[in-house]
Amino acid sequence: MSASDTSIVWFRHDLRLADHPALVAAAKRGGPVIPVFIWAPEEEGKWAAGAASRWWLHRSLKSLSESLDSLGMRLTIRRGPSLAAIQAIAAETGADAVYWNRRYEPAIVLRDTKIKSTLKSGGLHVESFNGACLFEPSIIKNKQGKPFQVFSAFWRSCLSLPEPTTPIRRPSKLVAPKTWPKRLTVEALGLEPRVDWAGGIREAWKIGEAAAGQQLKRFVSGGAAGYLTGRDRPDRAGTSRLSPYLHFGELSPRQAWHSVRRRQSDMPPGDAEDSMACFLRELGWREFAYHLLVHFPHTVNEPLRDQFRAFPWGHDDAALAAWQRGQTGYPVVDAGMRELWTTGWMHNRVRMVVASFLVKHLLVDWRAGAAWFWDTLVDADLANNTLGWQWVAGCGADAAPYFRIFNPILQGRKFDPGGDYVRKWAPELAALPTKWIHAPWETPPSVLETAGIRLGRAYPKPIVDHATARKRALAALAESRQG
């Protein structure tokens, strides 16, 4: 051990102690460890954390701080610039090494590259690790050495590699420095809203590494067996609900992968085992999103497919506002948007439906939808948000063709057949018979009267006709191709 051997561990989107490669590397040195979090939203530019993410981050940092306290450690919180903060902490503590787990957002990659170079030139040992993905995104290439743009081929390539390594246990002991550097409180970062709008999110979620582990255990032991079919039903608890934990790194994808694989190995062939394989494939889509983000960083702002640069998007602020508020007149769309506003989350099937409605029924630019999701989702992840919106809009990798236009009435009837999802999030329609719940404007006047519903007052009439909107969207596609 050298005269110092003090290590800084820079926590970012990896707010956990288990399966934390950077923390383990620092602990192995045997010297003091300084856990650090730096709040520097200006370095992320347009894609700094949105309001719902900041709310979650506040609580996740509190949870991480408590976990470190239990080991006799402290989380040193500073404001950016990140480079200056790390240099200051190194000078105060005599640290000679800095470790972190990599992030893959374009602005962060550029920032981290500069920071690593500067710190190394200043005599510090700097090392980064993959703590966010099953496979390092930059290494997956096709036979021509180029990045994949089709998921199935990408995932086959991933599955041909050695299986993801097993998760690393959290350190049982960390060495504290003799003197801790000065730190801010989590409250000093001002992450919480001044007006408390987060009651629904508080009710819907538990935050932190322990909560993430509990949710994973709950999913694997129960709901995962029915995931194959249940994941498409917003009226049921059929999804994992692990996305925010994965985004903030309270849970690693390796932990999720191996937990499911252990359960899968105990199952006889059949639907339950297929459900497990289906969930692992969904983790693969997450990997694909990061693969695309790394190789095509411009897609956070521009379409991957050049032919969509000339697409004639509309600028209908009133329609966008109605969509945001859940006032489109299409029950499954409105239910999804209200679920999002209330809980900070939306069922994945419904995400596709509401996104399709925005970009195809209303012809609003997909980037406006991506921005709204970014601000309101607790799992707002740049890679996955970009992939999802470009997939629905038809302008991304392996995207659904633009002429595939979700019919919100049929989607509601198929995936919310009893209308329970709509009744929960659009309670003004609760008294409607199931036959009419997904198309209240088709309901006979006498049935509406019995249900106590006056369309245009208690619940809005459709802001656009589905058939008309479909024709308009296809005409816009033809126009863009001619251009």
Q: Which residues are catalytic?
A: 282, 285, 313, 348, 366, 389
Largest CA distance in the chain: 85
Of 417, 404, 412, 416, nearest in space to 462 by CA: 412
How many other C-beta atoms can be found within 10 angstroms of the C-beta atom of residue 351?
A: 21
DSSP line for 174-235: -BPPSSPPP---SGGG--S-SS---HHHHHH---SHHHHHHHHHHHHHTGGGGHHHHTT-TT
Sheet containing 125-129: give its strands across: 76-79, 33-39, 7-11, 97-101, 125-129
Instruction: Spell 11-23 as b/e; 16+ CB within 10 A means b.
Output: bbbbbbbbbbbbb
Encoded tokens for 22: 């950077």
What are the two backbone dihedrals, phi and then psi, of residue 393, each rounded to the nearest 5 degrees? -70, -15
Distance of CA 149 to the CA centre of its chain: 20
Encoded tokens for 405: 């236009």
Helix (H, G, I), strand (E, B) or coil at 266: coil
Encoded tokens for 206: 């538990």
Q: Are 225 and 204 in contact (CB under 8 A)?
A: no
Of 261, 12, 287, nearest in space to 135 by CA: 287
Q: Cα(161)–Cα(158) distance, rounded to whole angstroms?
A: 5
List the beta bridge partners of residue 215.
Answer: none
Q: Cα(448)–Cα(450) distance, rounded to whole angstroms?
A: 5
| Contact partners, residue 272, CB within 8 Å, separation at least 6 | 225, 226
Q: SS3 breakdown of the chain: % helix, strand, coil, rounded to 5?
A: 55, 5, 40
Q: Cα(189)–Cα(191) distance, rounded to whole angstroms?
A: 6
Q: Are 475 and 312 in contact (CB under 8 A)?
A: no
Helix (H, G, I), strand (E, B) or coil at 286: helix
Encoded tokens for 422: 């709509």
Count the alpha carbons within 13 Å of 7 in the hemisphere toward its beta carbon: 25
Encoded tokens for 294: 């790394």
